[in-house]
Amino acid sequence: MSDDAPQAGAGAPAGAISKELLIINKRGLHARASAKFVQAVERFNAQVWVTRGGETVGGTSIMGLMMLAAGPGTTITVAAAGTDAEAALAAITELVESKFNEEGV
């Protein structure tokens, strides 16, 4: 299965879609990046979960996201469920792939 194909993620309910994303920004999922992640999630009618190394946190928890310690080169699994799950997953993918829109990274 390709990395682009949505699939069920660990820690997410049945029916959720998920995608593995590589953290490529210079500082990883730090406070500012986590805040941007949460802001992106909150725009949608969807529940989002993020998993790294067997630990799953809610996508609306800045502290939870930071506790994953997802540094550069880390792969996270983002899962979403709800009316806007696909749109939420697409927006999060764009945010991560754009290095959280951080200058100089």
Could you list the active site residues? 30
Residue 31, phi then psi, degrees to nearest 5: -60, -50
Classify burial at 13, counting beta carbons within 10 Å of its beta carbon; exposed 0-12, middle 13-18, buried 19 or more: exposed
Residue 47, phi then psi, degrees to nearest 5: -100, 135
